[in-house]
Amino acid sequence: MGGRGSSSGMSDSGKKYGTEYTTLYQSGNIKFVRYNNGAATTPAETMTKGRVYVTVNAKDKIKSITYYDKHNKHYKQIDIGHSHKVQGIKKDPHTHKGYIHDEKGTYDVSPKERKMIDRAQKAWYYHNNR
């Protein structure tokens, strides 16, 4: 993954492919990454079909889990660690749908998403405490 996950050798902003994120750990199709330039931003695209990225912040806490569509573009993000209003009620975790974070709405997590959260948290816990 490169500058914002671009699939060419260079992003639109001129960042060389593979320089915007650091891979911290991988467990199956889940790759734990950290954004190299400040606040934890999620990858917009991927080059690997079926990949799920877990973005970890500077404090080694899981910030979000990002899913990609058949064109390898960001389509859903589960945010963890901060609340967001869903139908007027603050929810943590919560899901944003759309390529640009929230263009298709914010939702409560589904049972399937809850399983992915548990899987990611367990993998990250065991990685950090082995």
pLDDT in tens, 65-118: 999 999 999 999 999 998 888 889 999 999 999 988 778 888 999 999 999 999
Residue 3: pLDDT band with limits 50, 70, 90: very low
Instruction: Indicate the burial class of 49 (C-beta count within 10 angstroms; 0-12, 13-18, 19 or more).
Output: exposed
3-state secondary structure of 54: strand
Give CB contacts under 8 A, 24+ apart, made by 127-130: 127/24, 127/25, 127/27, 127/32, 128/60
In percent, the amount of the chain with pLDDT more than 90 equals 59
Q: Which pLDDT does position 5 carry in this prediction?
A: 45
Per-residue pLDDT at 54 exceeds 60: yes
Q: Which pLDDT does position 60 carry in this prediction?
A: 93
Say which amino acid occupies 49.
K
**What mean pLDDT is predicted for residues 26-36?**
94
